[in-house]
Amino acid sequence: MHRHSLQFEQGPIRPPNEAQSLLLRFTRNCPWNQCLFCPVYKGRKFATAVP
């Protein structure tokens, strides 16, 4: 039996009314990452998608 490590990535946080809309992700994490009320992307580096 082989053990594989699975890597999961936090998806974007968006309002419920956008749940059914098409989502094209060109970036990862948050470019601002300084909001005091949002702990979601703390310690994660912002990056653009590699084509």
- Tell me what pLDDT residue 41 has: 85
Task: Express each pLDDT in 1-42 by its tens digit.
Answer: 566 777 777 778 888 999 899 988 888 888 888 889 888 888
- Tell me what pLDDT residue 6 has: 74
Q: Which helix (H) or strand (E) segment is 48 a member of? A: strand 47-48
- Tell me what pLDDT residue 16 has: 92
Residue with tokens 């909001």: 35
Give the largest CA-CA distance in the chain.
45
Query: d(Cα 44, Cα 32) in Å, to the nearest integer?
Result: 11
For residue 6, CA distances in Å to 2, 3, 10, 21, 31 come to: 12, 9, 13, 27, 25
- Tell me what pLDDT residue 51 has: 67
